[in-house]
Chain A
Amino acid sequence: MLKGKKSLKVALATLSAAALAGGLLTGCAPANSGGTITYLTQSEAWTHADPQRNYTGMHIAWFGSYLQRTLTAYDRKPGAEGSAVVPDLATDTGKASNGNKTWEFTLRDGSTFEDGTPVTCEDIKYGVSRTFATDIITDGPTYAIGMLDIPTDPATGTSTYKGPYSTDAANDTASFDKAITCSADHKTITFNLKRAVGDFNYTVTYLSFSPVPKAKDTGDQYDLAPVSTGPYKIKSYKANDSMVLVRNDKWNKSSDPLRADRAFPDKVVVKFGQAAEVIDQILLSDKDKTAVSLDSLLPTNLSAVFDDKGDVLPKYKGRAINVYDPYVRYAAVNVKKVNCLPVRQAIYYGKNFQSLITLAGGQAFNGDPADGVIKPLMGLDYAKTGLATNDKDWKPEGNVEKAKALMVQASTECPELYARATDPKRGLVYDIADTETNKKASAIWIESMAAIGITMKFNFIEAGKYYSVVLDATKQGDLSAGGWAPDWANASTVIPELFTAEGGFPMSQNWDDAAYADFKKRSDANLTEPDRVKQGKEWAALNKYAMEQMWVIPGTFSKTQEIWGSKIGGAFFWEPQGALSFGDLYIQK
């Protein structure tokens, strides 16, 4: 499942993404402009529309294409070129000084909000300040809190600055004003960081670093009506119904070379709450030729679109793709609860990977067995960990003997956990999103765990609510389905995020584990390692380390399938965001 998301350095083996996009990007806008693009989704609404609260790659791609501009952005190109950072609101991709601890960006002239007021340094500073109001601005990435040079309150471990809404006299606004400074002409913004961050210009591609006009900020309710800086603006937005975007007439094309010639449709509509099977059928039958699905195809409909090998059938050529997404899927182990290595290993060996992958549509659609949390496509940061296909004891259908032997070992090493795991009344609880496919998957898990003596129980959580439940330590079960993609092409956005207490996605809760202190020390040190090759080797080593401790049960290096109507042009898979290139879509005449 999704949460964070971002770039991969090496080209992904996509089917025809490059071919699909070929030639269309450079074409003049007038020929292809006009019309309405309709997006269909099962979700009842956007998880968030507030730029400071958006974190999912697909959402960042969508809002970033149409509504929100940031200092820098990923280039909207197919293949590896898409992962390059280009200037957006800024005139360049940033100047680092002070050993990568100070970053300076200069704003372009002519960028405005949808009411015509120019975007200033102060607006970006105000936008970033909202990230600190963690009581109201929830769910967004917290890189600003982790990186900006603002003291941490030793008592609570939280920042001394509590954001712009705090009425507390002790709120440390002074430190924030020092951490981000604006030049007198309001054109240059300077970030002062507490540690060296060599790729801070990737960090600011996040919408959480986008401008918000203080006068228009409505706190929590800004999530319903964020102010646009992009080529479109929100005409209406209603949960359970739709969002309608129309052209932003105050948008200054010349100030936005990234989007200048690609603002094709006159109108963009998102229809929320459509049943998954109905969305698939609308697209399969091409009933709405200008529709695009925001959701992946249901596994049950894959065979209508793709052949056995995963290639698009002729009927759907040019309007469907089956590609590797940036995600690694796994079952995060709550190490606080499952505090016994042999039990975690037994689960890994006992798992029936074969049946689970068949259920999800087969390896051609669901992806390859993963050996860790870093995808091989990360290049520098990846090395084999010796798990899965490189592990002679690992079998796709599960190695019952090996797993049983580990359970015997567990019965003496950790009798308490062993007793709970094998007790039919208690057992281990697995958190998973509530979908029909996952319901069947649970039956396969229960069956394969029963074969090695473990009682497994499932806690089905509504898909849209899944992460807010499992990321709450009090509500998380023993294992939780998870998925993570690097936020940009450095495993600094993977290893510390997943396996340290300060991380943004710490579902393993592994900080009481005996191995943690050493791991944490190496991870912290590696964050500021200036030699990128050396840093990559260490990330690979830490990946292996985490896998040896089985802090997650590895799943797949996953794939995704997208489909759109036959009149939609310009589609390609935008790799860094793991989503379609929404901003490049147009209606074919």
Chain B
Amino acid sequence: MNGLLAYISRRLGLTLLILLAVSFTVYLIFALLPYDPASLTCGKSCNDPGIIEANRHRLGYDKPFFEQYWIFLVGLFAGRDFGEGAAAFHCAAPSFGYSFQQHACVTDLIFDALPVTLSLAIGSLILWLIVGVGLGIVAARFRGKIWDTLSTAFVLVGTSLPTFLTGLMLIVFLVIKLDWSPFPAGGYTAPDEDLGGWFLSMVLPWITLAFAYAAIYTRFVRSQIIEISTEDYIRTARAKGLSDGVILGKHTMRAALAPIVTMAGLDFAGLLGGAILTEAVFNLPGMGRLSLGAVVDIDLPVIVGTTIFAAAIVVIMNAILDIVYAFIDPRVRV
């Protein structure tokens, strides 16, 4: 057990280091961009240099780079105040900064957008796992038969169709042309407001996103199963006269589970940073739309905040997966 603890603490230390490196790099990249963050806050009135300087001071952009980064880090844990007098405001911890263009604390914006992206990611994850793993198993079992060919065709169409085309065609042809479908043409309904409405608003985005991922999973599961079934212990099981179904359920799938879970975990983590295209096509106010909108508006605090947030989720998910494996498989700990 000591080995495990040591591994976990080492892994967590490494995670923190990577997080620090990523946040610093993101901060650095966007600080080096040829934009003056202060002059992005006032649009047309920026013809007055006094205003730019006032905003620079208010948002802390007048401080040296390292101090700015330090204030940012401190803000993450302790919250942050901006401005003074009647127009002052406070962003509570964990503060990613303040968006002058959206008039809100970046953390609030992220926490507003996250439930939408979570809805999208969880639903499509379930859908693509069912379809992808199911089809993968079918294809592997009936290798070379018609079912294999059909699932291959599904896979290829899935990988060839860009998500924005799938989404647009679903909206225009299914929702608008065929007027009988119960789905809205985009937009999000919060589940606590109207659960049925939430479900209907999410079905098409789930299908769109799951379609692209299911294709990859079908392919992956199929090759995993085929590869595992050549392993000695599976051959032995078969020699012992166990039925195909039992072998698949009890042995092959168990072995294939780990890589599938890893892949799903990482894909899921990646999605929490935002599914930009699906969110854009279906008009879902999630993380992807938030970050894309920030790029368009050159809203630097939001860009930095969402990037670091998305990276943190991926890094943390990686660590969780590694630690879970360390529990299951002692060899990993070395």
Q: Which residues of A contact B (CB under 8 A)?
A: 44-45, 134-136, 138-139, 156, 158, 164-167, 217-221, 223-224, 238-242, 271-275, 277-278, 281-282, 285, 287, 462, 464-465, 467-468, 471-473
Q: A240-B285, A275-B280, A278-B186 are in contact. Are A134 and B51 (CB under 8 A)?
A: yes
CB neighbours of A282 from chain B (8 A):
176, 185
Partner of A472, one of B44, B50, B179: B44
Candidate in A164, A240, A462, A464 with the most chain B CB atoms within 10 angstroms: A240
A298 to B252, CA, bound (A): 55
Measured between alpha carbons, how far is A467 from B185 in the docked complex, in Å? 30
Is A281 a contact partner of B103 (Cβ separation < 8 A)? no
A300 to chain B, nearest CB (A): 13
B45 touches A277 (CB 8 A): no
Stretch of B67-75, B85-93, B263-271 that contacts chain A: B85-93
The CA-CA distance from A156 to B53 in the complex, in Å, is 14
Q: Which residues of B contact A135 (CB under 8 A)?
A: 42, 45, 48, 50-51, 54-55
Question: Within the complex, what minimum Cβ distance (angstroms) separates A502 from chain B?
Answer: 11
In the assembled complex, the CB of A286 is this many whole angstroms from the nearest CB of chain B, namely 9
| Contact indicator B43/A471 (Cβ below 8 Å) | yes
Q: Known interface pairs A134-B51, A135-B55, A275-B186. Does A221 touch B42 (Cβ–Cβ under 8 Å)?
A: no
A165 touches B185 (CB 8 A): no
CA distance A223 to B89 in the complex (A): 14
Interface contact A220-B87, CB-CB below 8 Å: yes
A44 to B286, CA, bound (A): 12
Write out the residue numbers on chain B whose beta carbons fall within 8 Å of the beta carbon of A275: 168, 171, 186, 280-281, 283
B104 at the interface (CB under 8 A from A): yes
For residue B177, CB closer than 8 A to chain A, the reply is yes
B172 on interface, CB distance cutoff 8 Å: yes
Which chain A positions have C-beta within 8 A of B51? 134-135
Q: For the complex formed, measure the closest distance between the CB of A579 and the CB atoms of chain B, giving whole angstroms.
A: 22
B62 interface residue, CB < 8 Å from A? Answer: no
CB-defined A-B contacts under 8 Å, sample of 22: A45-B102, A156-B48, A164-B86, A165-B87, A167-B84, A219-B87, A220-B100, A238-B112, A271-B283, A274-B185, A274-B187, A278-B283, A281-B176, A282-B176, A282-B185, A285-B179, A462-B296, A464-B296, A464-B297, A465-B296, A465-B298, A472-B47
| CB closest residue in chain A, given B296 | A462
Interface residues of B in 273-314 (CB under 8 A from A): 280-281, 283, 285, 289-290, 293, 296-298
**B175 interface contact, C-beta 8 A:** yes
CB-contacts of B177-210 with A (<8 A): 177, 179, 185-188
In the assembled complex, the Cα of A277 lies from the Cα of B100 at a distance in Å of 30
Contact B187 A271 (CB under 8 A): yes
Question: Please, which residue of chain A has its CB at the minimum distance from the CB of B100?
Answer: A220
| A468:B186 contact, CB within 8 angstroms | no
Q: Which residues of B contact A471 (CB under 8 A)?
A: 43-44, 47
Bound together, the chains give a CA A473 to CA B47 distance in angstroms of 7
Which one of B43, B175, B289, B297 contacts A287 once the chains associate, using CB atoms below 8 Å? B175
Inter-chain CA distance A221–B91, complex, in Å, is 13
**A164 vs B176: C-alpha distance when bound (angstroms):** 50
Residues of A with C-beta under 8 A to B45: 134-135, 138-139
Query: Considering the complex, which residues of chain B in the window 38-60 have a beta carbon less than 8 Å from any beta carbon of chain A?
Result: 39, 41-48, 50-51, 54-55
On whether the beta carbons of A285 and B86 are closer than 8 Å, the reply is no
* Bound CA–CA A340/B175 (angstroms): 55
Using CB atoms, name the residue of chain B closest to A219. Answer: B87
Which A residues are in CB contact (< 8 Å) with B290? 240
Q: Are B104 and A273 in contact, CB atoms less than 8 angstroms apart?
A: no
Task: Tell me the nearest residue of chain B to A240, going by C-beta.
Answer: B285
Contacts of B281 in A (CB 8 A): 275
Residues of A within 8 A of B50 (CB): 135, 156, 158
CB-CB < 8 A to B285: which residues of A? 238-241, 273
Are the C-beta atoms of B172 and A139 separated by less than 8 Å?
no
Known: A219-B86, A239-B102. A278 touches B289 (CB 8 A): no
Q: A44-B293, A158-B50, A472-B46 are in contact. Are A165 and B85 (CB under 8 A)?
A: yes
Contact check, B104 vs A221: say whether CB atoms are below 8 A apart: yes
Residues on B with beta carbons closer than 8 Å to the beta carbon of A167? 84-85
**CB-based nearest B residue for A134:** B45
> Is there an interface contact between A139 and B43, defined as CB atoms closer than 8 Å?
yes
Q: How far is the CB of B120 from chain A (nearest CB, A)?
A: 14
A275 to B100, CA, bound (A): 25
Closest to A164 in B: B86
Additional A-B contacts beyond A278-B171, A278-B283 (12; CB < 8 A):
A139-B45, A156-B48, A219-B87, A220-B89, A220-B103, A221-B89, A240-B113, A275-B168, A282-B185, A464-B296, A472-B39, A472-B47
- Report B-chain residues with C-beta under 8 Å of the C-beta of A465: 296-298
List the A residue with the shortest CB-CB distance to B44. A471
A312, B286: Cα distance in complex, Å:
38
- A44 CB, min distance to chain B CBs, angstroms: 5
The interface residues of chain B lying within 8 Å CB-to-CB of A273 are 280, 283, 285, 289
Instruction: Return A469 CB to nearest CB of chain B, in Å.
Output: 9
